Structure 1
């Protein structure tokens, strides 16, 4: 199954491009699911369906489930339980509703899912969230400690009070399973990102940030869409000046991204299916996305006595890079982005002895630790 995650700068037309992409593919005979909280009602088409995340419903369901599982501890504290009708959505619930919708989309049996994500900065944080939360859960509630939960019923009888650890571990296990399912969708070979930009002063900066943030998460960039292009043949001097400025920024986008899908400005909001057809990017989802910059290990033990881990980070700047080895992880900061990267098995038996950035290729040098490295007979 192919999954296209559509994001871009706020106001650049992400939802419109996502809807147009979904409709064009449905008309081409594919079974398509559009995941969007903001899309207008879709045109009637047998191969096209809309899944609309509902953060308020999702929040109430999760809150009431947690309240029910912890009822014994809440009763002990004398807490008054909440009812469904009095619960309102809290800030921060929307990303989790969207992640669950993404998981559901992958399980729905369609040929293609087009997911309308938030603006770029929020989208990059959202896509990193499953891995980050799973790491936090493993650190705060490691699996080996959960084995002690078998003793909880006996301890509760001896103490005469309910022990809350059982529901805590059960809830953690459920969250871990859900997050793992979402992370598997994000990291699947058929998942890619489509970036929608309106050519302007901020467009190239957004493209460079997207390339770096996506490379750190190892997500391929499906295509770059330049939206709302003004007509180039206007006789009006004011409009011609705007067009010239816009096309100057478009040239910068082409220089940075290579191929760019160009979509016209209709002079109005799209009014129906025929307008949406004009706004579908030319690059088809069936086309293979650009490859993710390679992360590979080069064995240079015979020449230099080291292993070199090559980490592809296009648009990275040396002054904005930071590396910290902590246990079996590498804490990697690149500009505004940070990721805790698990070390490959071979590198866990080494020490970090240097790093260099060469044309978007971060080269981290590891020297084998004689006390840990397997000895050759």
Structure 2
């Protein structure tokens, strides 16, 4: 009988909005309900406070330094013969410090490993929104880089490499590079499968206010650029309405105004909005009141699969239209350029390079317009390439 994979709930949000507390509470609530649950977090304090406190709840802190050290030492071990040929001195474990981006890779590997660990629910405490979107886009970007730098279909003199290796007495560098690329491709594809899985969902935690509104807009646009969307929005630290203190009452009224805007955005995207209270005191580990009442429905990929569509308007208007949903995007900071058979789109500081559908590769770009959260790009057939 095939193993049933765990459901995965990714939780991101504004820095300081309480996303770690919400992730911890949500994981604890799932464990209390009898679901074997794993919480993955960078936060040392949260991991220490929760570890071993509840039956059915496992807590693991993602160790970026340790994961980076293990990966680099493994690479050094696999390429030992080549490095010796080049006259390099092996690195000692004590001199290794994690490079920028090591934490993201460590978290992605931990999420992938968690799917095979027998848990029913995995709750992942992601970094703030901008870093989280970049993290979710990372496997696809790295796979594209590998495909361009070491394309499997262009392995020159592949049949000769074993002969050359015997003559030289060492593995040929090109063969070693292709083998490393193949291993990386398998690992990245497995991580991408977790992100794309219907059992994976993402919640965005914000504190109602001007900063929260900007974070939510960034999340909506950034995720949509990569074909994703939030499955839930969580408004955290809501003050009670009608308080006796004028100052607190004013803050609560302001929060409610922002909450209305959040509700409108969620209605457009078709996702639920959950409201969590401001507890007004220091938080204990896994506060039950901060658990997201999320039912685990998925997927968080808009409409299932790539959300972009090509509309044929050749008969009526003489062009094709490629529609790319970008909710929350504004014209400022939005740019696109055709590059060969790819379209490069920049939005909200994010960039995605997308291969054009086959029909559009035989067309030229005539213009684009952003209306109602959808970027529509017009293509007209190239007479030299389009069949008569």
Partner of 1:31: 36
- How far does the alpha carbon of each residue in 1:72-116 deviate from its partner, in whole angstroms, 9 at most, with x for none? 232233322123344333333111101111212233343332211
Matched, 1:103 2:112: yes
Partner of 2:260: 251
Deviation at 1:291, TM superposition (A): 4.2
Call closer, same or farther: CA 1:2–1:350 in 2, change over 3 Å: farther
Counterpart of 1:278 in 2: which secondary structure?
A: helix
Candidates 23, 27, 31, aligned match of 1:22: 27
Candidates 237, 248, 267, aligned match of 2:246: 237
Deviation at 1:338, TM superposition (A): 1.0
Call closer, same or farther: CA 1:346–1:66 in 2, change over 3 Å: same
Question: How far apart, in 1, do the equivalents of 2:169 and 2:302 lie?
Answer: 60
Matched, 1:279 2:290: yes
Give the conservation status (yes or no) of the 8 Å contact 2:198–2:300: no
224-233 vs 362-371, which moves further = 362-371
Deviation at 1:25, TM superposition (A): 2.5
Gaps of 5+ in 1: none
- How far does the alpha carbon of each residue in 1:113-138 deviate from its partner, in whole angstroms, 9 at most, with x for none? 22110011111111111111111111
Question: How far apart, in 1, do the equivalents of 2:375 and 2:242 lie?
Answer: 45
Superposition CA RMSD, Å:
2.5
Candidates 262, 281, 295, aligned match of 2:275: 262
Partner of 1:343: 356
TM (norm. structure 1) is: 0.89
Deviation at 1:158, TM superposition (A): 4.4
Matched, 1:52 2:61: yes
Partner of 1:207: 216
Give the conservation status (yes or no) of the 8 Å contact 1:204–1:256: no
Question: How far apart, in 2, do the equivalents of 1:121 and 1:176 lie?
Answer: 25
Question: How far apart, in 1, do the equivalents of 2:69 and 2:299 lie?
Answer: 40
Candidates 13, 16, 20, aligned match of 2:18: 13
Question: How far apart, in 1, do the equivalents of 2:386 and 2:36 lie?
Answer: 51
Gaps of 5+ in 2: 1-5
Give the conservation status (yes or no) of the 8 Å contact 1:120–1:210: yes
TM (norm. structure 2) is: 0.87
Call closer, same or farther: CA 1:342–1:51 in 2, change over 3 Å: farther
Question: How far apart, in 1, do the equivalents of 2:298 and 2:34 lie?
Answer: 16
Partner of 2:369: 356
